[in-house]
Structures are given as structure tokens and as C-alpha cells.
Amino acid sequence: MTEAEDISVGNRLATARKKKRLRYKKLSSELNIEESYLIALEEENYDRIPGGEAYVKGFLRSYAKKLNLDPDEIISQYLLTRIQSKEGNSVKQIEKGIEILSIRKKILFLFTALLILSIFMFFFQKNEADSTEIISKSYSSEVNEEINLNNEVIQETQNIETNSTLSNEEDLSLKNLKPDNQLKDQINDNKIPVSGNIIEIFVYDDCWIEVFSENERLLYRLSQSGETYTFIEEKIKIIAGNYKNLRVSFNDKIVDLGINANANQVSCVVLPLGDCSEFRTTNN
């Protein structure tokens, strides 16, 4: 690990800003990023930034460039930190399960010891015949309870480990999630009559996409390379973070997303015509 990587992303940004004696207000104006978001980046409080990871990466890239830091290095360190954080949470869950198992074992041991002591005390208070019968029944009951308690402890630990594994598998399944191209294939095969405009979106690299019709929100997700989406609508609104990582076509004509993009690489278009600020649905 290099000396730069020993320092967290937030500390590197804060140190560079202080060396240049720059104020948040001035930086916010020049980068078109709210002051609270700049502070959140330095404090590594990324959950305060809306739009998900695509927006965080875009803000980090713009902020790093402004401070003469290597944007790619900053983003790589940020992604590594996020991965380590997720792994740390999984380890904590497993450690908690082990701690619970240890406590249950101690309780089981104490319970067993008390039960055995009670049996011996009862043995000396009764005659030999009665004591023998009671000991036999008590021992059988004790063994069954011990087995049941052991099964409960093992099952509880397995549940904790399974939940942790499922959480990781769900993250992987979301990362590998690919949109279904069935609608597009059916349109090309003339199986679905087209009664509206055909809008196609192809994703080259990670980007955040939000799509609205005049009645509802049709799409809201962090998309990955290779994903495609097809919509048939009279009118549609598309908001894209890192807009250069995707291509939009309207009735087979490429749409220039750069015309309406801002400094944060966020673009908003209404097709075929319209203003984003005037396009409203119940979800927008």
C-alpha cells in the first residue's frame, strides 16, 4: 500500500483543500456541487449524497480534479474502502454468531451441572429403588434437553451464517442483473404492434438512469455495461448520471445528451420535445 493509500479519501481531499486555502462556498460555486455534499465527501459520509454511487463517483472525480489530485486514484481508493466496509460487516455478523454460540454453550453447561447436582441430592434423599428409577428418567430427560438445546444453538448460528452468505449473494446477483431484451425482439419480429415512439438505451459503463412516462416512473437503477432498455411511449423523460456512459436512440435516431448536461455529467432530456422542469408525474 502506498503512502497516499494509507490516508483516507476524505483526509486527502480535506488536506488538499486546506493547502490551497479554498472555502467550501467558492468550491461549491465553481463545481456546481452543494457545500453539504463537499463536506460529506471529506467526512466520507456518502449516504448523505443522493443518487447513489454514480453521483458519489462523479462528485469525487470533479472535486479531485479541482484539487489537482488524481481522479482515478481517488475513485479506486473509494471503491476499495466500500468493499472492505462490506466485508467488515459480514465478519462482524459471523463474530456475533460465534459469541452467541459461546454464551449458549456456557448456559447449557451450567444448566447441565445444576441438573446433575439436583439428581445426586435427590438420590441421597430417597431409597435405592426409587432413586434408581428417578435417576433413569431424569437422565433421559436431561439428555433430550441437551440435544434440543444443542440443535437450537447450531441452527441459530447456521441462520446467522446463511443470512450473511445470502446478503453477499444478493449483492452479486444485483451486480449480474441484466435487463430482458424480450420486448425489443418481439418488436423487431413484428409480434407487438407499435403504437408510440420507440426509445432504446444502451449502457457502455456504470451510470445511473431514471426514466419517466407521462403516468409513472418506468426505471430507476444503477446500470452496468452491456445492459439495454427498450420503451414504447408517446412522451418520455430520461435523467442520466455519467451520461457519456450510455447511448439513447429515439425512433432509431441518436439523441445528443450533452446538450442538456451539467458540470456533474448529469443530463436530462424529454422526448420528442419538452422541458425537464415542466415534465411531471406522480413519482417526479
CA–CA separation, 194 and 279 (whole Å): 23
CA 86 to chain centre: 9
SS3 249: strand
Q: What is the pLDDT of residue 167?
A: 42
Q: What is the pLDDT of residue 161?
A: 46
SS3 262: coil
Strand ranges for 54-121 from DSSP E: none
144-169 burial: b if 16+ Cβ within 10 Å, else e: eeeeebeeebeeebeebeeebeeeee
Q: What is the pLDDT of residue 84?
A: 85
Q: What is the pLDDT of residue 129?
A: 57
Q: What is the mean pLDDT of each run of 10 residues along the chain (284 residues)?
A: 68 94 93 94 93 92 94 94 75 62 73 74 65 55 59 52 43 42 62 76 92 91 94 93 93 92 91 85 65
Q: What is the pLDDT of residue 164?
A: 41
Q: What is the pLDDT of residue 264?
A: 87
Q: What is the pLDDT of residue 278?
A: 79
* Cα radius of gyration (the chain): 30
CA 75 to chain centre: 17
For 244, list phi and psi in degrees, rounded to 5: -70, -10
Other Cβ atoms closer than 10 A to 266: 21
